[in-house]
Amino acid sequence: MFYRILALLICLAFLIPGAALAGQVEALKVTVLSTMLADQGLGEWGYSALVEVDGRKFLFDTGANPDVVLKNAKSLGIDLSKVEDVIVSHNHGDHTGGLIALRRELMKRNPLAIGRAHVSGNIFLPRLSGDGADQNGLTPLKAEYERLGGRFILHEGATQLAPGVWFTGPVPRNNSETNWSTGGLKIRTAAGDVVDNVPEDAALVFSTAEGLVVLTGCGHAGIVNISEYAQAIAGTKPVFAVIGGLHLFAKSDEVVDWTGAQLRRLGVKYLLAGHCTGIEATWRLRAALGLTRKTAPVSSVGSAFTLGKGIMASAIAA
Ligand SMILES: [Zn+2]
Ligand SMILES: [Zn+2]
């Protein structure tokens, strides 16, 4: 009897799509909705991407100007009203600027649209400028977002938002990457004021049969730190695709080359870097990784990575 039940369970596992591969993503598409380069829609210093994964949708960051993600989605023919979960990677205004406008506009069509905002638990820490003012980019939006029915979900550590879809939460800084430029802002601690290294910076990680896909906003935690942490939480598989901003635009050639060598070691075969990566740094990373214009174009509005297909660049970056 026991073996009959076991056989039945094994059969069921193969009949139910995904059941045999719990914790692994089967279908994934990431479409960039805000970055600097655009030949369709508007470019801005900001970042946002739509994630479509196994029938669910997530918005990752919300761009800088309130209406750019809404306008770009419209010009790309993308309907965001079914997106109920938004991820805010960190507090900076070029990732949070669209949050209120997106919630306000899309809730007219779906009361739940952009209604849950996933963030690291320490995102609301005050970021103090020299005069003691709090320059946190998300704090001023909190009351209005909640008044509109939105809810912040604070994650203290790594968590699975869906099978095979990980929100990292704060990323351990094991390598000496300093991929931030916060203009002298400080965080107050019991031991005194410390440099704001954007400790809340979080990424999304997708576990697939081919390996891990990492999606990052500004990559302030360091893309090597993020990729190594992705393996720690989602399994020691190659990080075969990296998407998003890597904040290398102001870094020396030596730092970019080191980053490229580390990403090569980690198994990166696709790079859709945009936003604060910098165009020169993207090309340098492409060379260090041994990739091509097809597998490592500069990301632009509408460019996309699709699991099993690779990268679709826009005309200007193809
Ligand atoms: Zn930033
Ligand atoms: Zn940024």
pLDDT tier, 10 (very low <50, low <70, confident <90, very high otherwise)? very low
Q: Please report which ligand is nearest the Cα atom of 47.
A: 2
pLDDT tier, 246 (very low <50, low <70, confident <90, very high otherwise)? very high
pLDDT at 18 over 60: no
| Residue 5 located in a structural domain | no
pLDDT at 22 over 70: no
Ligand 1 centroid – CA 186 distance (Å): 15
Per-residue confidence (pLDDT) for residue 130, from 0 to 100: 92
User: Cβ contacts of residue 281 below 8 Å, gap of 6+?
Assistant: 246, 248, 249, 251, 256, 273
Per-residue confidence (pLDDT) for residue 1, from 0 to 100: 52
Rounded Cα distance, 231 and 263, in Å: 13
Q: Please report which ligand is nearest the Cα atom of 46.
A: 2
Q: Please report which ligand is nearest the Cα atom of 63.
A: 2
| Residue 294 located in a structural domain | yes
| Residue 81 located in a structural domain | yes
pLDDT at 281 over 60: yes
Number of domains in the chain: 1
pLDDT tier, 19 (very low <50, low <70, confident <90, very high otherwise)? very low
Starting at the earlier edge strand, list the strands of the sheet with 56-60: 151-155, 116-120, 85-87, 56-60, 48-53, 28-34, 304-306, 310-312
Per-residue confidence (pLDDT) for residue 11, from 0 to 100: 42
Q: What is the mean pLDDT of residues 120-125?
A: 98
Percentage of residues in the chain having pLDDT higher than 90: 90
Sign of the CA dihedral with 306 first, then 60, 47, and 245 last: negative
What are 119's two structure tokens?
């963030």
pLDDT digits 0-9 by tens, 248-269: 999 999 999 999 999 999 999 9
Per-residue confidence (pLDDT) for residue 3, from 0 to 100: 54
Q: Which residues pair with 214 in a beta bridge?
A: 205, 242
Length of the chain: 318
| Residue 257 located in a structural domain | yes
Rounded Cα distance, 89 and 49, in Å: 11
Direct distance between the N- and C-terminal alpha carbons of the chain, in angstroms, rounded to an integer: 60
What residue numbers bound the domain in which 310 lies?
25-171+181-317
* This prediction's pTM: 0.93
pLDDT digits 0-9 by tens, 147-177: 999 999 999 999 999 999 999 999 999 999 9
Ligand 2 centroid – CA 63 distance (Å): 9
| Residue 102 located in a structural domain | yes
Q: Please report which ligand is nearest the Cα atom of 274.
A: 2
Ligand 2 centroid – CA 204 distance (Å): 15
Per-residue confidence (pLDDT) for residue 59, from 0 to 100: 99
Ligand 1 centroid – CA 250 distance (Å): 13
| Residue 2 located in a structural domain | no
Ligand 1 centroid – CA 143 distance (Å): 21
| Residue 293 located in a structural domain | yes
Ligand 2 centroid – CA 94 distance (Å): 5
pLDDT at 5 over 80: no
Ligand 2 centroid – CA 299 distance (Å): 14
Q: Please report which ligand is nearest the Cα atom of 92.
A: 1
Ligand 2 centroid – CA 22 distance (Å): 33
pLDDT tier, 232 (very low <50, low <70, confident <90, very high otherwise)? very high
Q: Please report which ligand is nearest the Cα atom of 275.
A: 2
Q: From 177, 23, 150, 162, select the one nearest 88 (Cα to Cα).
A: 150
pLDDT digits 0-9 by tens, 217-229: 999 999 999 999 9
pLDDT at 299 over 70: yes
Q: What is the mean pLDDT of residues 18-35?
A: 82
pLDDT tier, 12 (very low <50, low <70, confident <90, very high otherwise)? very low
Give the CATH number, domain containing residue 121. 3.60.15.10
What are 211's two structure tokens?
């390996």
pLDDT at 310 over 90: yes
Q: From 196, 207, 286, select the one nearest 246 (Cα to Cα).
A: 286
pLDDT at 237 over 50: yes
Q: What is the mean pLDDT of residues 32-48?
A: 97
| Residue 10 located in a structural domain | no
Per-residue confidence (pLDDT) for residue 318, from 0 to 100: 83
Ligand 2 centroid – CA 95 distance (Å): 6
